[in-house]
C-alpha cells in the first residue's frame, strides 16, 4: 500500500486523533462532559508532567542564539497583531485578546515540529529552544492574563502555586539550573514516570479537540469567520514572513538557519491554545477553529517554505 508523502505524514496523526475525538463525541460514548474532563486531565496532569521533565533535562541557555532571536521576533509580531485584531477589529475583552494573540503566534513545535523538521531539515534540534521559549516566556504571560480575569489581581502573586502548568515550568527550570550547576540529574524512575504520564497529553488533547467539534454551532457568523481568518492568516503567513525579514535582513542568518527559523515559524497553531482556552472558558471557539484551519493551511505554506528556502 503506498504511503503518504513524507511531509504530509506528519499531519496524519493530528487529523486521525481529531477525527476519533469527533466520532467519540458524536456517539456519546463518554458522556456529555467528557471533552471538559479530558481537557482538565491534560491541563492539570499530563501537560505539567511533560513540561516538567522536558525543561528539567534541557539547559536553559539553549534558546540564547541568533536563530531564536529571529523566531522570537516573528512570534512577537504575530502575537501582537493577533492581540490588536481582537481588540480593534472584534472588540474582545482582555482574556479573549490573549487567546487571539496566542492563536496567531503560538506554534505546534513538538508533535508536528519534530516530524516536519526531520523531513525537511534532517535535524529536529531546534525544537528544544522553541519549546523552551514558548513555555518559559509566552505561556506564563498568557496564563497570567487569563488567570487575572478569573481570580482577581491580588491573586496573581500566588498564580504559580495555583496553576499546574506554571508550577511545572518553575520546578523544571529550578531542576535544570541545579543540573547545570552540580551535574545532578533526576532519578530515572521519576523521569520515566513523568514521560509516561506526559505522553498522554498530546493524544488526549487532540481527542478533546475533536469532541468539541460535535458541540460547535452549525454555522458560524461572519464575525467569527473573519476572526478565525485573521488569526490563521497571521499565523501561517505573517509570522514566517516576519521571521524571514528579521533573520535575512537584520541578522543575516546562514541559509540553513534561515530555513529552520522560517519553517518553525510557519507551523500551525498548537493544540495547547485550545487546552488553555477550554480550561478558562475564554475564546474557545476561536482557539479550536484556529488550530484546525491553520493546520490545514500550513500543509501548503510549509511546502512553500521548503521549496523557496531549501537547498536547490
Q: Is the pLDDT score of 179 beyond 60?
A: yes
As for how many domains the chain has, the answer is: 1
Identify whether 170 is part of a domain: yes
Mean pLDDT of 206-230: 81
Identify whether 67 is part of a domain: yes
The alpha carbon of residue 108 and the mean position of all alpha carbons in its chain are separated, in whole angstroms, by: 4
Indicate the length of the chain as a whole number: 312
Q: What is the rounded CA–CA span in Å between residue 156 and residue 24?
A: 37
Domain containing residue 112: 6-309
Q: pLDDT tens digits for 88-128? A: 999 999 999 999 999 999 999 876 887 788 778 887 778 88
Identify whether 1 is part of a domain: no
Percent of the chain surpassing pLDDT 70 = 90
* DSSP character string of 164-211: HHHHHHHHHHHHHHHHHHH-----HHHHHHHHHHHTTHHHHHHHHHHH
The alpha carbon of residue 15 and the mean position of all alpha carbons in its chain are separated, in whole angstroms, by: 16
Identify whether 173 is part of a domain: yes
Q: Is the pLDDT score of 222 beyond 90?
A: no
Mean pLDDT of 156-176: 78
Identify whether 136 is part of a domain: yes
* DSSP character string of the chain: -PPPPHHHHTTHHHHHHHHHHHHHHHHTTT-TTHHHHHHHHIIIIIHHHHHHHHHHTS-GGGG-SHHHHHHHHHHHHHHHHHHHIIIIIT---HHHHHHHHHHHH-B-TTTTHHHHHHHHTS--TTHHHHHHHIIIIIHHHHHHHHHHHHH-GGGGGGHHHH-HHHHHHHHHHHHHHHHHHH-----HHHHHHHHHHHTTHHHHHHHHHHHHHTTS-SS--HHHHHHHHHHHHIIIIIHHHHHHHIIIIIS---HHHHHHHHHHHTS-B-HHHHHHHHHHTSSHHHHHHHHHHHHHHHHHHHHHHHHHHS--
Percent of the chain surpassing pLDDT 90 = 50
Confidence of residue 1 (pLDDT cuts 50, 70, 90): very low
Q: CB-based burial of residue 262 (10 Å sphere; 0-12 exposed, 13-18 middle, 19+ buried)?
A: buried
Identify whether 189 is part of a domain: yes
Q: Which residue has the cell 482538565?
A: 40
Q: Is the pLDDT score of 136 beyond 90?
A: no
Find the CATH number of the domain harbouring 196: 1.20.1530.20
Q: Which residues contact 194 (CB under 8 A, 6 or more apart)?
A: 49, 50, 52, 53
Q: pLDDT tens digits for 48-90? A: 898 898 888 888 877 778 999 999 999 999 999 999 999 999 9
Amino acid at each position: 500500500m503506498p504511503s503518504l508523502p513524507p511531509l504530509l505524514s506528519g499531519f496524519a496523526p493530528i487529523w486521525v486523533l481529531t477525527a476519533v475525538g469527533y466520532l467519540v463525541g458524536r456517539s456519546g460514548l463518554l458522556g456529555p462532559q467528557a471533552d471538559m474532563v479530558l481537557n482538565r486531565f491534560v491541563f492539570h496532569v499530563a501537560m505539567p508532567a511533560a513540561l516538567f521533565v522536558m525543561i528539567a533535562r534541557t539547559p536553559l541557555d539553549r534558546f540564547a542564539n541568533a536563530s531564536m532571536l529571529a523566531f522570537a521576533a516573528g512570534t512577537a509580531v504575530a502575537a501582537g497583531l493577533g492581540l490588536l485584531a481582537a481588540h480593534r477589529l472584534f472588540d474582545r475583552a482582555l482574556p479573549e485578546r490573549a487567546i487571539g494573540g496566542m492563536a496567531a503566534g503560538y506554534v505546534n513545535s513538538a508533535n508536528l515540529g519534530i516530524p516536519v523538521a526531520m523531513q525537511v531539515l534532517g535535524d529536529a534540534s531546534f525544537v528544544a529552544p522553541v519549546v523552551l521559549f514558548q513555555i518559559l516566556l509566552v505561556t506564563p504571560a498568557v496564563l497570567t492574563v487569563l488567570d487575572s480575569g478569573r481570580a482577581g489581581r491580588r491573586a496573581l502573586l500566588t498564580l504559580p502555586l495555583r496553576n499546574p502548568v506554571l508550577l511545572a515550568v518553575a520546578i523544571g527550570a529550578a531542576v535544570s539550573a541545579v543540573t547545570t550547576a552540580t551535574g545532578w540529574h533526576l532519578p530515572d524512575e521519576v523521569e520515566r514516570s513523568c514521560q509516561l504520564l506526559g505522553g498522554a497529553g498530546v493524544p488526549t488533547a487532540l481527542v478533546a479537540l475533536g469532541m468539541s467539534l460535535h458541540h460547535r454551532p452549525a454555522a458560524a457568523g461572519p464575525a467569527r469567520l473573519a476572526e478565525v481568518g485573521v488569526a490563521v492568516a497571521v499565523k501561517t503567513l505573517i509570522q514566517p514572513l516576519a521571521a524571514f525579514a528579521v533573520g535575512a535582513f537584520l541578522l543575516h542568518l546562514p541559509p540553513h538557519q534561515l530555513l529552520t527559523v522560517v519553517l518553525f515559524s510557519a507551523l500551525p497553531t498548537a493544540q495547547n491554545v485550545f487546552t488553555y482556552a477550554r480550561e478558562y472558558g475564554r475564546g474557545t471557539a476561536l482557539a479550536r477553529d484556529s488550530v484546525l484551519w491553520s493546520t490545514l493551511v500550513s500543509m501548503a505554506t510549509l511546502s512553500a517554505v521548503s521549496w523557496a528556502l531549501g537547498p536547490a
